[in-house]
Amino acid sequence: MKINSLPFINLRRKPIRTSALIVIALVMSAAAFGGQILIKSLQRGLDSLEQRLGADIIVLPEGAEKKVDLQNLLLQGTPGYFYMDKSVTDKLTGINGIEKLSAQYFLVSANAECCTVQVQIIGFDEESDFTVKPWLKEVYDGRLQKNEIIVGAGLSTRVGHTLSLYGVECRAVGKLEKTGTGLDTAVYATNETVKGLINASAKQGIAVLSKQSPENVVSSVYIKADKGADIDELTSKINRALDGAQAVRTRSMMTDTAKRLNVLSKSITALTAAVWVLAAVIMLTAFYNSANERKREFAVLRTIGFSRNSLSRIVLLESVITAGAGALAGVILTGLLCFEFISAIGKKTAMPLLMPSAGVTIVYGAAVIGIVLLAGAAASALSAYRLTHIDTGKILREGC
């Protein structure tokens, strides 16, 4: 028998108390780790969106927000479409302060046509695009040909396979990394391909355009302002110059989403704090009660020759073992749940959720385990003090 095994023996012989303490630590770590992962996923999702948007101003048809939720469409990839006259692009070319501009086409796959969910089809111009290509390049460095597509991570279509859209077989040449948003179920193609799909939809009797030809329309124009240009002023200038279209500053969309994320982050932090306060009170009570029950046991240990330090070590080791086991289980369980359900949560809450990288997740997990261990040690410190400063003589004399 070794003295260091005493805390383990004590814990094993009190399975209910030990399990309860482990569960408390598990709840604490799950709340802290889950909360942190959720907050970081929101931040990462937002960063990813910002990176992908890449434009300062977006020009859309007037009233487009009445047809679809612009923010959801542009930031989250929630399926939707709208069109405006192509002449908008020509008008924009004459406005000073614009460095780059590129038109895009939006289309939505027919219901239950190819996939279990509606797919957002985004068409971009191979020549002028500066918003989509930079990150598409990560998975496909070539030039997209007609009826070639790059698919989001959420679609089951594999590279080299085809996806049928309005009866047109489109070949996937690349697959994107996960973004945690509806863009994971989007398909990217050239404007030519999308125009072809719009025509194909008309042939199938699903007319997305009533009278116009797809050659004469665009869905949106992405604008990169000149360096040093006042973007608000440029937005106003564009709005004054255009008829039937509106310019929206992208940061205003992001700010709105960022505000929502900020509120959510604060709510998660508050909830985590509440769980911690409750768990800490329960843990303190458990250790306090345990200290009362164990006075005689510790008095006997003093008669055997245990010093105050060695008794403190027993109490602290017991708390570290229970807190450590609970924290580890909490982190692993929450990590698995997050990994499995974070995309679903993102879709359900319309929030851009993107899990932090494995390295960052491990660092957070380790930090949470460390904090729970400290909390457990702190909660047991009072008990350790009480048990190591018991009046051995009095307890032995009075038998209590």
Question: Phi and psi at residue 365, in whole multiples of 5°?
Answer: -60, -45
Binding status of residue 158 toward other proteins by CB under 8 A: no
**Which of residues 164 and 392 has its CB atom nearest to other proteins in the complex?**
392
Pick the stretch among 99-107, 227-235, 252-260, 303-311 that binds other proteins (CB under 8 A): 303-311
Q: Considering the rule CB under 8 A, would residue 304 count as an interface residue with other proteins?
A: yes
Q: Does 16 bind other proteins (CB under 8 A)?
A: no
Question: Per rule CB under 8 A, is residue 13 in the interface with other proteins?
Answer: yes
20 lies in the binding site for other proteins (CB under 8 A): no
CA–CA separation, 166 and 254 (whole Å): 33
- Entry field: residues in the chain: 400
Closest to 197 (Cα-Cα) out of 71, 58, 68, 81: 81
4 versus 212: smaller Cβ distance to other proteins: 4
Is 278 one of the binding residues for other proteins (CB under 8 A)? no
State the nearest-atom distance from the C-beta of 385 to other proteins, in Å. 14
Is 233 a binding residue for other proteins by CB under 8 A? The answer is no
Residue 162's beta-bridge partner residues?
Answer: 171
Q: How far is the CB of 313 from other proteins (least distance, A)?
A: 12
- DSSP for 164-205, please give it: EETTEEEEEEEEPPP-SSGGGGEEEEEHHHHHHHHHHHHHTT
Q: Which of 225, 299, 314, 354 binds other proteins (CB under 8 A)?
A: 299
**Does residue number 15 form part of the binding site for other proteins (CB under 8 A)?**
no
Nearest approach in angstroms of CB 8 to other proteins is 10
* Alpha carbon separation from 154 to 159, 180, 228, 335 (Å, rounded): 13, 9, 38, 20
In the list 142, 160, 205, 305, the residue contacting other proteins (rule: CB under 8 A) is 305
* DSSP of 250-289: HHHHHHHHHHHHHHHHHHHHHHHHHHHHHHHHHHHHHHHH
* Interatomic CA distance for residues 270 and 275, integer angstroms: 9
Strand ranges for the chain from DSSP E: 57-61, 84-85, 98-108, 120-124, 148-151, 162-165, 168-175, 186-190, 217-218, 220-225, 245-249
State the nearest-atom distance from the C-beta of 9 to other proteins, in Å: 5
292 in contact with other proteins (CB under 8 A): no
Residues numbered 308-367 forming contacts with other proteins, rule: CB under 8 A: 308-310
If one asks whether residue 211 binds other proteins (CB under 8 A), the answer comes out as no
Contacts to other proteins by CB under 8 A: 1-3, 6, 9-10, 12-14, 296-297, 299-310, 391-394, 396-397, 399
